[in-house]
Amino acid sequence: MSLLWARVTLTAYRWLGAAIYPFLGSYLAFRATKGKEEHARRRERYGFASSERPNGPVVWVHAASVGETTAVVPLIEEVRRRGIFVVLTTGTVTSASVAGERLGKSVVHQYVPLDLKPAISRFLDFWKPDLALIAESEIWPMTILELGARKMPQVLVNGRLSDRSFTNWRKRPSLAEALFENLSLVVAQSEEDAERFRALGARPVSVSGNLKVDTAPPPYDHSEYEYLHNQIGRRAVWAAVSTHAGEEEIAADVHQALNPAHRALTILVPRHPERADEVEEMLAARGLIVARRSRGDPITKETEVYVADTIGEMGLFLKLADICFVGRSLTATGGQNPLEPAMLDCVILSGRNVQNFRDSYRNLLKNGGARLVNDGDTLAKSVEFLFSNRKAREKMQIAAHKTVDELSGALPRTVRALEPYIKPLTVKAELQHDGRRKRRW
């Protein structure tokens, strides 16, 4: 694909977006009926602001979903500590909830505008960000081009490229170059990710490690933990978290294969809580006794599976479990973050499809802090073995903690890489603060 063809393609993308823009209202309304949009805040998706822009420098941080949002929280806190205002955009209702819980009113949250010129232009005209920080792999062509056209610095932080994304971009090198040349800097998670970004035309590229390692363990309500822990008693507990379609059935198979002597409780945490009804129906059809977190069902001696279908309580469910299977790794691909269970002393099991967290798993496996399974049968055998071998569990917990310690340090490395962009804004914020203070006197 020639550079000219890439420009033509991006121009066509721009005009196609402008053409469909007036017809997106019904689409967003439909998503709202499914709980995927906040009805009262749909205008934010068109770039309309729902908060006032403060005076002074503004950094726009975009994180697509829950994992990305959690990862950038410490970075946002560092930016705010310097007196710089932050507007955080996310793309999902769950990530908006996490942002509210973790950051409160220290930032303004907006839903990310649609990647269409009218919406992006309206958003940028209002907020006028001095710097845009985009988390992980959020490559939105119109957003990148509009920021580039306005000469607004844009940095990809905690950057990663999955195998599939990299393969797709490599098929369109001129298109990739036309977009990635607009990035002022890429701060990649690993050397492998860095090489991939360089191959696609990004310059400069540095390596920080994974920001998710430098986050605090997932929070949990201690009183709720004690309440549920007392209900569970001395039963063995394992959790299947961030599960996708097909993995809940595997978890049910595992539960039914476990030695009855364990009186095991299975905690099932679907990646998308709105699937809880169908998951419960599947479990009930197997004759399993189910309790639901969203209904406030108690965990009784008869409860076999606890469907944890609420938002923002992952820390609670991981803290309750001795063993954790991390989903999106058997029937789906890519994997989910294994470091959160490691931080909460939960022994880690996973399928082999963990490409999106390759570096984390590579180090966990090297240290003995995780095990990979091929299918439901080997998962059941692994859970059974670990239930019966306390020393093996403790050895894996120690190894997982060691891995987290070894992988830490991404936050200070990221801040150092961003210093040329953040330092001038820090000075500007300080001068503005001093000016306000002098006027008061």
- Average pLDDT (86-109) is 93
Compare 424 and 432 and report the one with higher pLDDT.
Answer: 424
| pLDDT score of 317 | 98
C-alpha distances in angstroms, 441 versus 18, 55, 159, 427, 436? Answer: 51, 20, 46, 21, 9
Average pLDDT along the chain: 93
pLDDT > 90 in the chain, percent: 81
Region 38-57: mean pLDDT is 94
Name the CATH superfamily housing domain 222-407: Glycogen Phosphorylase B; (3.40.50.2000)
With 60 as the cut, is the pLDDT of residue 441 above it? no
Q: What is the average pLDDT across 131-145?
A: 94
Dump pLDDT digits (tens) for 327-373: 999 998 899 999 999 999 999 999 999 998 999 999 999 999 999 99
Token pair in block for residue 243: 């599960």
pLDDT score recorded for residue 18: 73
- Say if CB 176 and CB 169 are below 8 A apart: yes
pLDDT at 440 over 70: no
Same fold? 3-209+409-434, 222-407:
yes
Provide long-range contacts, Cβ within 8 A and 24+ apart, for 366-372. 366/403, 367/399, 367/400, 367/402, 367/403, 367/406, 368/395, 368/396, 368/399, 369/342, 369/396, 369/397, 369/399, 369/400, 369/401, 369/402, 369/403, 370/338, 370/342, 370/396, 370/400, 371/396
Provide the pLDDT confidence category of residue 309 given band limits of 50, 70 and 90: very high
| 110/126 Cα distance (integer angstroms) | 12
Tens digit of each residue's pLDDT (9 = 90 or more) over 124-133? 999 999 999 9
Chain segment 229-259, per-residue pLDDT in tens: 999 999 999 999 999 999 999 999 999 999 9
Residue 311 banded pLDDT, cuts 50, 70, 90: confident
Segments making up each domain of the chain, as ranges: 3-209+409-434, 222-407
Task: Tell me the Cα Rg of the chain.
Answer: 23
Which residues have C-beta within 8 Å of that of residue 341, sequence separation ≥ 6? 241, 318, 324, 326, 347, 348, 400
Q: Which pLDDT belongs to residue 138?
A: 86
Residue 48, helix vs strand vs coil: coil
DSSP summary character for residue 378: H
Tell me how far apart the alpha carbons of residues 118 and 125 are, in angstroms, rounded to a whole number. Answer: 10
**Which is more confident, 24 or 146?**
146
The pLDDT > 70 percentage for the chain reads 97
Answer positive or negative: Cα dihedral of 329, 331, 333, 334: negative
3-state DSSP call for residue 347? strand
Q: Report, as residue numbers or ranges, the catalytic residues.
A: 68
What is the rounded distance in angstroms from the CA atom of residue 214 to the CA atom of residue 71? 8
The residues, ordered by sequence, that sit 6+ positions from 396 with a Cβ below 8 Å of its Cβ are: 347, 348, 368, 369, 370, 371, 386
The third-level CATH classification (topology) of the domain covering 3-209+409-434 is Rossmann fold (3.40.50)
Q: What is the pTM of this model?
A: 0.88
Residue type, 264: A
Structural contact between residues 225 and 310, judged by C-beta atoms closer than 8 angstroms: no
Measured CA to CA, the distance from residue 325 to residue 119 in angstroms comes to 40
Round to whole Å and give the CA distance between 58 and 50. 16
405 falls in which pLDDT band (50, 70, 90)? very high
Confidence of residue 437 (pLDDT cuts 50, 70, 90): low
The pLDDT, as a whole number, for residue 435 is 61
